[in-house]
Amino acid sequence: MLVHAYLTRFERVQRGESLERALNASNASLEHARRDRQAAPAAYRWRGSYEWLRGNPASARKWWERSADAARRLGTTRELQYTKQERDRLERGSAAGGT
């Protein structure tokens, strides 16, 4: 959840410091997902959002696809829906990621 909090802060207020903290939290989240596969869809989703907000849409889409694939393998339709919503939200409205 820290990744999400820092990304939200990045979008709304403090850009530089929040993005660095989001990267650190994302790295920790990915490490956790290596030990707990239930955590993988969220960890991959937030890494995709991080990549989008730092201006790397191709990488973001790869992470979102990885999130969706992990959710499908686990049978977690809720996580799949969260990933779709996050991707749609950023692709439609974020100025940082571009097209």
Cβ 49 vs Cβ 93: under 8 Å: no
Whole-model pTM: value is 0.81
Provide CB contacts within 8 A for 19, sequence distance 6+. 6, 10, 50, 53, 54
Return the amino acid letter for 61. Answer: R
| Out of 7-11, 22-26, 79-83, least confident range | 7-11
Buried-exposed string 14-25: b where 16+ CB fall within 10 A, e elsewhere: eeeebbebbbeb
**What pLDDT is stored for residue 32 in this prediction?**
95
Residue 14 has pLDDT above 80, yes or no: no
Domain ranges across the chain: 2-93
Q: What CATH class does 2-93 carry?
A: mainly alpha
**What pLDDT is stored for residue 13 in this prediction?**
67
